[in-house]
């Protein structure tokens, strides 16, 4: 079997990999059929992340179940599933309360597509992927939803959903501000789509990139082309999806009293992070949230949104690419979201 490996900055290679095997009765093997880029992949490929080569890329995707362990009861070969990017067991104390990103049964930070040492579980741009806790981790694909539409439901679409999910109950109908643009920039756009779907009365998207602003407008946002100190209005819900100190500052300073600002941006260089406007945040009782999404509990919510038509994630997709052309497409760095689609049967790269 083969996988697309990051072997150095701006260097990708299809490489032979050891065949995957079931390691327990609770496990499954899956064959990815539609794999999406994460915004982080743009940084990994360019060498701008701390994750060192070689590693097989891909941690967002829809897959076909090919083999299951004797204890797996919810899935069978041939089923189409979404695979969460975080590995979790579903039975430990943290998993039972929904904090699946901190599963106690595996090393902290265990993920597909990136990581360090034993936290790295291989990548989805591969012929086969091991899922150790199949009944818990795998999420069935809804009828009528294409693999291409759901390919990013492993990470970026749920990550965006949790930034505005408080529109359901805490802040129904509230206006939302999104500072977008981190790396490839899809998460901020998905946040716009979710906010509109959840009934926000006004969604403002700030980004200097014209192509992403055009997508945000298609999703229902008003857009701002320059990053100001503040945006006029009161925003109980704000999102920093910029990984830019200016975007973070904008989101924090624009958060209304008692509001919530969630940052999905990863600030690898601590020297680039601005001083927080702590006094302003104090007097407004601002809640600031950052960190990885606990993705497994959120995936069913976003699949419901896609299935119902409330969210069309294909609006964010730059293009769907043949599996064998993944390396060239990634190295072009001209995308917001790519989806790599495998043809039926063995791919040429795997042959």
Digit-coded pLDDT (tens) for 137-182 = 999 999 999 999 999 999 999 999 999 999 999 999 999 999 999 8
Q: Note the pLDDT of residue 317.
A: 98
Residue 270: the pLDDT is: 75
The whole-number pLDDT of residue 343 equals 82
172 within 8 A of 199, measured Cβ to Cβ: yes
Per-residue pLDDT at 349: 35
* Helices vs strands, H then E, count in the chain: 11, 16
- Residue 56 and residue 325: Cα distance in Å, rounded? 15
- Which domains does the chain possess? 2-155+294-341 (3.90.180.10), 157-290 (3.40.50.720)
| Predicted pLDDT of residue 350 | 34
- Ranges under pLDDT 50 in the chain: 345-351
- CB-based contacts of 348: which residues, under 8 Å, 6+ apart? 324
Does residue 5 contact residue 14 with C-beta atoms inside 8 Å? Answer: yes
Residue 77: per-residue pLDDT = 97
State the pLDDT at residue 345. Answer: 42
Q: Residue 88: what pLDDT?
A: 98
The pLDDT value given to residue 344? 61
For residue 269, the model assigns a pLDDT of 79
Residue 348 has a pLDDT of 31
The CA distances from residue 101 to 104, 126, 339, in Å, are 9, 23, 24
Distance CA 302, CA 187 (A): 13
């Amino acid at each position: 079997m083969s996988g697309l490996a990051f072997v150095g900055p701006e260097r990708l290679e299809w490489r032979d990999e050891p065949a995957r095997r079931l390691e327990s009765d609770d496990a499954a093997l899956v064959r990815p059929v539609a794999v999406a880029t994460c915004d982080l992949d743009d940084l990994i490929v360019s060498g701008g992340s701390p994750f060192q080569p070689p590693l097989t890329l891909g941690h967002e995707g829809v897959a076909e179940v090919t083999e299951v362990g004797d204890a797996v009861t919810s899935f069978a070969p041939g089923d189409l599933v979404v695979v969460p990017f975080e590995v979790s067991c579903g039975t430990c104390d943290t998993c039972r309360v929904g904090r699946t990103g901190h599963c106690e049964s595996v090393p902290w930070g265990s993920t597909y597509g990136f990581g360090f040492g034993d936290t790295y579980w291989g990548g989805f741009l591969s012929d086969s992927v091991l899922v150790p806790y199949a009944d818990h981790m795998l999420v069935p694909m809804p009828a009528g939803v294409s693999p291409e539409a759901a390919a990013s439901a492993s990470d970026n679409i749920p990550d965006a959903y949790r930034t505005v999910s408080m529109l359901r109950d805490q802040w129904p109908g509230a206006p939302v501000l999104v500072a977008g643009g981190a790396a490839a920039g899809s998460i901020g756009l998905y946040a716009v789509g979710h906010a509109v779907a959840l009934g926000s009365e006004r969604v403002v998207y700030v980004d200097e990139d014209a192509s992403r602003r055009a997508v945000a407008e298609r999703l229902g946002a008003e857009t701002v082309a320059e990053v100001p100190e503040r945006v006029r209005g009161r925003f109980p819900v704000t999102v920093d999806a910029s990984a830019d100190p200016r975007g973070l500052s904008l989101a924090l300073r624009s958060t209304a009293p008692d509001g919530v600002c969630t940052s999905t941006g990863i600030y690898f260089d601590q020297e680039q992070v601005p001083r927080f406007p702590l006094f302003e945040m104090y007097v407004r009782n601002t809640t600031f949230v950052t960190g990885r999404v606990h993705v497994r509990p959120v995936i069913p919510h976003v699949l419901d949104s896609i299935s119902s038509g409330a969210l069309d994630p294909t609006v964010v997709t730059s293009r769907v690419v043949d599996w064998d052309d993944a390396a060239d497409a990634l190295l072009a760095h001209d995308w917001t979201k790519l989806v790599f689609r495998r043809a039926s049967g063995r791919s040429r790269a795997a042959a």
